[in-house]
Amino acid sequence: MNRKNLMNFFSSSRGQWILLIGFAMIIFLINLNSEGLFAAQEGKAGVVTRNMIESGNWLSMEFKGTHTDEKPMFCYWIYAVSAKVFGMNEFALRFPSALSAIFTVLMTAWLGMKIYGRKTGFLSAYILCTMITFVNLGRVARIDIILTAFFMFAMLCLYRGYWEKNKATWWLYLFYITIGLSVLVKGPVGAVLAAFMIFCYGCIFRKWKIWWELKPISGIIIVLLIGAPWYIYEGIRTGGDFTWTFLVEHNIKRFVGGSEFKDGKHQPQYFYFGKFFVGALPWSAAIPFLFLQFWKKRKSLRPESWFLGIWFVSIFIFFTLGAVKRGDYILPLYPAAAIIIGRYLMILENLKFKLYHKWIYGWFTVAGIVLATFGVILSGVLYNIGKKAVYDELPHMNARDGHGMMTISNIVNNNLIAFIIAAIIILTLLYMIGKILAEGKFIKALSWYLPAQLLVMVIYFQFIMVAVDQVSTNKHFSLRAAEIIPENEKVVYVWFLDPEIVYYLRRDYEAPSAEETNDYVKQYNYLIMQGKDYRRMDKEKAPFNEFEVAATTIKGHASPSVLMVRKGILNQKSGK
């Protein structure tokens, strides 16, 4: 195939789909089997999945012989199927998330094409799979990205089932089937979000008949037929514990504020503004201008544009009203945001938009921010802020954010020359893109930017993340602890329980309450505690003075842990 034919092929619809699939696969699959699990949810997914496979009981979610009641069963089935295919490892646990992310990207392209045409559809997909939060959550074993895939497909079906022709079609039944499955993924939240979106649309346009035209009775029956049987079974099996704990404690009380979460701290009402802006970078820079354009054209907007806008805003408002807030909760609005941003950028392209001639001042501002960032990191300010967050000394900032700051500070300081070179390359690239945009060549600028961002992500996930892994995962600490602790011995987790360590250590354990800790410490020979607790505790106070440190995580670890062994046992094992 000569150059002309090759260019023609990749300009065709089939060629562009192949490019998009390849682009997404690289982002979400490269180095997916990186060493160690990081989030508590990943560790818990690993433990529950392994127990399910080893016991052969695929109807029970067991964590140390007791049922887990935080999430429904469907995702654990997906993890288990993946583990049966790829083996019980990090890749198997994360592959469903990566597959869900890729599927969501492709569905975003399809919906964008249906509403605004082929160029907007493909651009929207590239925008989505380069948004920071979407990429990060698409590469870890988190339920939220799987829910987003189901919700995205449900919205596509809802558009085809009603909005496309302004009347109900058979796609509407597929919408309700998908919503029913989403109830098995993460509970009623998917159904509630869809209902709230439709409710908002009816109220805004006073189109009350839409609630009947969407066949709600048939829909409720379909959702209940799909979702209710397992909930009823699990409720009966656990004597009602699952029903109460999951539906009431983890859903209703978290939303209205009756549940304590993240050490009892609830987030402020403006929480999601910052989270979305950072999570949707670099594309969120267009959001203020986009909303201004949306407001100016609101009277002439097509129903499809309102469909996307209300999808985005209704989810944002819903979770803002909730007492407990987490950045990953709003993930289902990201596909809508990507299509809206893609549409806005294509409008700029059609208008032959040119950057204002003083764009260079913006470039110097970005360069100044980069220099200031290096200054904050090299001076130790970022590390100290992260340390305070880890010790819970800063309001509205959790320990995970603090660990991230400390990790970034350590990595940059240890690889300073490489990061300086990378910063120079990125600033040079931004300068070139600015010049292209100043000439009104918008598509050409994107053709430079997207491959460059892909290259940056490949470098990060293939090389930089390796360094991040070393100071983020407890895998290596757990494996060293497994060499010290006999298989028939129990471990006592003092004042915390890390599912990641449980997953890799594979030893029976006790996780007593604070009041019971001393009794358990006297009874068993092996203790594991967080580094911050070890540093704070009075080591001369019985019964801890009977123990010595046997293993620790590496220096600079984001979540340090300590293995303590009763004095004399290590000498006995070594024959001394």
What per-residue confidence (pLDDT) applies to 42?
84
pLDDT of residue 70: 65
Alpha-carbon distances of 561 from 33, 215, 235, 478, 528, rounded to whole Å: 23, 54, 36, 9, 7
Q: Which long-range contacts (CB under 8 A, 24 or more apart) does 356-359 make?
A: 357/438, 359/434, 359/437, 359/438
Determine phi and psi for 493, rounding to 5 degrees: -90, 115
Lowest mean pLDDT among 59-73, 215-229, 474-488: 59-73
Could you tell me the pLDDT band of residue 400, with boundaries at 50, 70 and 90? low
pLDDT confidence bin for 474, thresholds 50/70/90: confident
At residue 262, the pLDDT reads: 45
* Residue 347 neighbours by CB under 8 Å, 6+ apart: 293
CB 262 within 8 A of CB 402: no
DSSP three-state, residue 558: coil
Determine phi and psi for 527, rounding to 5 degrees.
Answer: -125, 145
Local confidence band at 264 (pLDDT 50, 70, 90 cut-offs): very low
Q: What is the pLDDT of residues 196-212, one digit of tens each?
A: 998 888 888 887 788 88
Topology at the third CATH level for domain 475-574: D-Maltodextrin-Binding Protein; domain 2 (3.40.190)
Give the separation between CA 215 and CA 228, rounded to whole angstroms: 19
CA distance linking residue 309 with residue 201, whole number of Å? 10
pLDDT of residue 376: 87
What's the rounded mean pLDDT across residues 224-229?
Answer: 90
**pTM, rounded to two decimals:** 0.87
pLDDT in tens, 238-248: 777 777 777 77
Contact assessment for residue 548 and residue 564, using Cβ atoms and an 8 Å cutoff: yes
Range with the poorest average pLDDT among 86-95, 389-398, 509-518: 389-398
Residue 474, SS3? coil
Does residue 249 come out as left (phi exceeding 0), alpha (psi in the -120 to 50 range) or beta?
alpha
DSSP 235-302: HHHTTTHHIIIIIIIIIIHHHHT-S--TTTPPPPTTHHHHHHHHHTTTGGGGHHHHHHHHHHTGGG--
Identify which of 466, 455, 366, 368 has the alpha carbon closest to the alpha carbon of residue 411.
466
Asked whether the predicted pLDDT for residue 261 surpasses 60, the reply is: no
pLDDT of residue 356: 66
pLDDT of residue 80: 92
CA angle 545, 549, 550 (to 5 degrees): 140
Q: Where in the chain is the domain with CATH 3.40.190?
A: 475-574
Between the two ends of the chain, the Cα-to-Cα distance in Å is: 73
